[in-house]
């Protein structure tokens, strides 16, 4: 059987995302976020998204500031050492988005439930917890094995998952770095939780090269709907072994998101005012990007 080529432009890949979708973004906190895809979602003016995540940061804050999000289901949305996610905070305080909180590990477990084809993930430790009390989607039950009180936490059920990865081939075989950490393994679990996986990659490799290290191909081609070659596709967040975080641009982002007016100017300059991610990177500057490369 002839294999299907999954390689396409970012514009083509993002066209598979619809208004009202439940969408998950890979990476963890301020690390290895699929920012090129986030930019394209804003350019495409996709609205009413539900972001279902584990630990979210600039990708969610940016989409919220652009008016693309109506619901957040996650454990955290913030910029860690760079401070508050200010678009997120304004939207929440103003009643413009709904937020459903899950503990961090349970937020990850929701994707494990999808991975295993389960409608929920069972837990024992939510007794007396406001998370269980205030969320009608978490259902108490008696464990049939132990007789203990347990809770059924709903699966994440993303319509689309978007991740940024180290490298892949044109068929959608995606490899993670040999020295890997939380962001990479969350990417793998998210990739196994849905039928519509969009992957941007730092490196596009020949399939024969991919075959030389099969133990790194943790996302096989049949899992992938689209693969896009986008170097620096996580900017300003880092990609392990490839690029460092861009502290200067993070600071610019924080300053820009201080108000709705200044953030609109940021969007007009860097995203709405650019045709694609390559034009965005040209604004950042080739010389500056070179300083972010991991050698």
* pLDDT at position 17: 98
> Using one digit for the tens of pLDDT, what is the confidence trace for 140-194?
999 999 999 999 999 999 999 999 999 999 999 999 998 888 889 999 999 999 9
Q: Tell me phi and psi for residue 178, to 5 degrees.
A: -65, -40
* pLDDT at position 1: 62
Q: What is the DSSP letter of 32?
A: S
- Is residue 79 within 8 Å of 254, Cβ to Cβ? yes
Domains of the chain: 10-101+158-292 (3.40.1080.10), 120-154 (no CATH)
Q: What is the mean pLDDT of residues 29-54?
A: 97
> Using one digit for the tens of pLDDT, what is the confidence trace for 248-270?
999 999 999 999 999 999 999 99
Percent of the chain scored above 70 by pLDDT? 100
Of the candidates 43, 37, 73, 69, which has an alpha carbon nearest to the alpha carbon of residue 56? 73
Residue holding tokens 């072994």? 241
Chain-centroid distance, C-alpha 91: 20
Of the candidates 256, 273, 260, 274, which has an alpha carbon nearest to the alpha carbon of residue 65? 260
Q: Is the pLDDT of residue 111 over 80?
A: yes
* pLDDT at position 182: 81
* pLDDT at position 2: 78
> Using one digit for the tens of pLDDT, what is the confidence trace for 191-207?
999 989 999 999 999 99
> Using one digit for the tens of pLDDT, what is the confidence trace for 92-110?
999 999 999 999 999 999 9
Q: Kindly write down the DSSP assignment for every residue of 44-57, as one continuous string.
A: TT--SEEEE-SSB-
As a whole number, the mean pLDDT across the chain is: 96
Of the candidates 121, 118, 119, 101, which has an alpha carbon nearest to the alpha carbon of residue 109? 121
> What pLDDT band is residue 295 in, cutting at 50, 70 and 90?
confident
Q: Is the pLDDT of residue 231 over 90?
A: yes
User: Is 0.75 topped by the overall pTM?
Assistant: yes
CA distance 83 to 237: 15
Neighbours of 26 (CB within 10 A): 30
The residues, any chain, with a CB within 8 Å of residue 45's CB and separated by 6 or more, are: 68
The tokens describing 54, both together, are: 């584990």
CA distance 193 to 26: 12
């Amino acid at each position: 059987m002839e294999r299907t080529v999954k390689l396409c432009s970012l514009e083509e890949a993002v066209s598979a995302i619809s208004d009202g979708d439940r969408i998950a973004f890979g990476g963890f906190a301020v690390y290895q976020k699929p920012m090129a895809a986030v930019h394209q979602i804003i350019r495409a003016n996709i609205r009413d998204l539900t972001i279902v995540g584990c630990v979210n940061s600039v990708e969610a804050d940016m989409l919220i500031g652009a008016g693309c999000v109506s619901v957040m289901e996650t454990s955290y949305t913030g910029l860690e050492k760079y401070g508050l996610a200010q678009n997120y905070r304004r939207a929440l305080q103003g009643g413009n988005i709904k937020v459903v909180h899950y503990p961090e590990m349970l937020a990850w477990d929701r994707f494990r439930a999808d991975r295993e084809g389960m409608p929920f993930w069972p837990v024992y430790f939510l007794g007396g917890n406001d998370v269980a009390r205030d969320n009608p989607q978490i259902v108490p039950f008696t464990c049939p094995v132990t007789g203990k009180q347990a809770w059924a936490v709903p699966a994440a059920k993303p319509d689309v998952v978007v991740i940024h990865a180290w490298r892949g081939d044109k068929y959608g075989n995606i490899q993670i770095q040999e020295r890997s950490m939380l962001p990479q393994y969350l990417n793998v679990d998210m990739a196994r939780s849905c039928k519509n996986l969009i992957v941007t990659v730092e490196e596009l490799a020949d399939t024969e090269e991919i075959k030389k290290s099969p133990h790194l191909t943790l996302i096989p081609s049949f899992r992938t709907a689209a693969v896009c070659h986008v170097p620096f596709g996580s900017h300003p967040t880092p990609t392990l072994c490839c690029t460092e975080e861009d502290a200067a641009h993070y600071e610019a982002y924080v300053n820009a998101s201080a108000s709705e007016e200044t953030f609109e100017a940021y969007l007009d300059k860097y995203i709405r005012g650019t045709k694609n991610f390559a034009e965005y990177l040209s604004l950042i500057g080739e010389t500056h990007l070179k300083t972010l490369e991991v050698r």
